Amino acid sequence: MDQSSIQMDYLHILMNSDIIVQAILLLLIFLSVLSWAIIIKKRKSIKEINKQNDEFLKVYSESASFKDIINKTQELSLSSFKTMFVEGHNEIEKLKELDFLKHFDRFGLEGVERSLKKGMNDSNLRLDSLLSILASVGSISPFIGLLGTVWGIIHSFAGLAKGGGTLEAVAPGIAEALIATAVGLFAAIPAVWFFNYFSNSNSQVNKKMESFAQSFLNRVEHTLSSSKSRFMGFSSGNNNNKVFSEINVTPLVDVMLVLLIIFMITAPLMLNGIRLELPKTKEVNRVNLSTQQVVLSLTKSGEFYLGKDPITKDTIIELVNDKFKETNTSVLFLRADYELSYGKVAKLMSFLKSGGINSIALVTEVDEKSKL
C-alpha cells in the first residue's frame, strides 16, 4: 500500500468533517485565543501592580507624614497599598470633624480598620478580574472537546452501518474526533496553569496587604500616643509638614488609677485673692494651705494660677517641678472651680500625670450642712 495514500491530511479532514465537529473546533479555538489574550494582559497588569506596590512601600517607609505620601504617590494608581492607604487616610480626615478623642476611647480604630478592609477588597477586585474566565476555559474546554470526540465517533459508526467496514472508511471520523479532544486540551491546559499562577500571585499580594494594614494601624496609634501634652484630637491648623498632630490619648484605666490615688482635703474658700467656688464635701482631712505648699488653681473661665501667679498650660509642668524643688515637696494641691466639667478636670489631672506629677490632692470646701 502506498504510504502517501494512507497518510492523513488533517486540514482536509477538518474541512470535510461534520458541521457539529467544525463548530466545536471553532469554539475551542476561540476559547484558546481568548485565554491567551487574558494571560498576556494579566501578566502585564500584575507586573505593573507589583512594581507600583514596591514604589509605594519605599515612599511610605521614607516619608515623615501622610501628606508627603499622598503627594509623592499620585501616579501610583494601580498600587494595592495606595488604594488601601487612600481609604484609611480619608477615614482619618472624616474623624477630624468629630471629637476624635472620645471616638477613639469608645471605638478605637475600628472605622479605620473597616476602611482599610474596603481598600483591600477594591484591590482584590482588580487583581481577580478576568480570572473567572480563565477558570471557566480550563474547566469546560476538555468537556467541549470530548463532545466533539463523541460526535465524531458516532459519525464514524454511522459510516460502518452503511457497509463501509474498512479502516480507511472509519479513520477520518476517528481522526476528527481525536483532534477535537486535542484542541480542547490545548485550550484548557494553559488556562488552568496560568489561573493557578495568578491565584498564587494574588495570594502573596493579599498577605502583603494584610501586613500593610497592620503597619498603617500601628503608625496611626503611634502618632496618637506620641505626644503626652495634647488631648484635642487631630490638628486642624496650618501644619503643612504632618497630616495630623501628635496626640496623647490617656486610656480610661489610667484615669481611674489617677483617681484612686487622689485624697480629698478641705481648705478655705479663698486663697491668695483667687476666687473659686469649690465643690462642697464633708470634712475628710483639714489642711491649711500655705506658701510652702504647691497649689494649682483652675478657674471656670479656664485660667491657670500657680499660687497667686497666672500661668499658661504649656508652662505648668516646668513651673510645678521648679516649685517642688524650691519647697522640697512632691504633692500638688489642685483647686478647680465647681462649675468646671468633670472631663476638663480629668484631662488636667492626666496632663499632670503625663508630666511626672503623680501625687495630686484635690481641694474642696467643707460643707457644714453635709450629713454624709
pLDDT greater at residue 138 or residue 11: 138
Q: Which three cell numbers stand for residue 116?
A: 482599610
Q: What is the mean pLDDT of the chain?
A: 75
Of the spans 2-16, 150-164, 197-211, 247-261, which averages the highest pLDDT? 197-211
pLDDT value for 148: 84
| 191 pLDDT higher than 50 | yes
Query: Is there a contact between 331 and 296 (Cβ–Cβ < 8 Å)?
Result: no
| 280 pLDDT higher than 50 | yes
pLDDT value for 170: 65
pLDDT value for 371: 45
Query: Is there a contact between 107 and 113 (Cβ–Cβ < 8 Å)?
Result: no
pLDDT value for 204: 92
CATH architecture of 252-366: 2-Layer Sandwich (3.30)
| 65 contacts: CB under 8 Å, gap ≥ 6 | 241, 242, 243
53 confidence band (pLDDT: 50, 70, 90): very high
Give the C-alpha separation, 83 to 346, whole Å: 39
| 279 pLDDT higher than 90 | no
pLDDT greater at residue 335 or residue 266: 335
The percent of residues in the chain predicted with pLDDT above 90, rounded, is 23
pLDDT value for 247: 36
| 83 pLDDT higher than 50 | yes
Domain positions in the chain: 3-225, 252-366
pLDDT value for 242: 39
Name 234's bridge partners: none
What integer is the mean pLDDT of 163-184? Answer: 72
| 54 pLDDT higher than 60 | yes
Judged by average pLDDT, the poorest of 19-23, 80-84, 154-158 is: 154-158
Judged by average pLDDT, the poorest of 9-18, 112-121, 170-179, 291-300 is: 9-18
pLDDT in tens, 299-309: 888 888 888 88
pLDDT value for 196: 94
272 confidence band (pLDDT: 50, 70, 90): very low
pLDDT value for 74: 86
- Show the 3-state SS of the chain: CCHHHHCCCHHHHHHCCCHHHHHHHHHHHHHHHHHHHHHHHHHHHHHHHHHHHHHHHHHHHHCCCHHHHHHHCCCCCCCHHHHHHHHHHHHHHHHCCCCHHHHHHHHCCHHHHHHHHHHHHHHHHHHHCCHHHHHHHHHHHHHHHHHHHHHHHHHHHHHHHCCCCCHHHHHHHHHHHHHHHHHHHHHHHHHHHHHHHHHHHHHHHHHHHHHHHHHHHHHHHHHHHCCCCCCCCCCCCCCCCCCCCCCCCCCHHHHHHHHHHCEEEECCCEECCEECCCCEECCCCECCCCCCCEEEEECCCCCEEECCEEECHHHHHHHHHHHHHHHCCCCEEEEECCCCCHHHHHHHHHHHHHCCCCCEEEEEEECCCCCC
What integer is the mean pLDDT of 191-199? Answer: 94
What integer is the mean pLDDT of 129-157? Answer: 87
pLDDT value for 100: 60
Phi, psi dihedrals of residue 361, rounded to the nearest 5°: -110, 125
pLDDT value for 133: 93
pLDDT greater at residue 254 or residue 317: 317
| 326 contacts: CB under 8 Å, gap ≥ 6 | none
pLDDT in tens, 92-111: 888 766 766 666 667 777 88
| 285 pLDDT higher than 80 | no
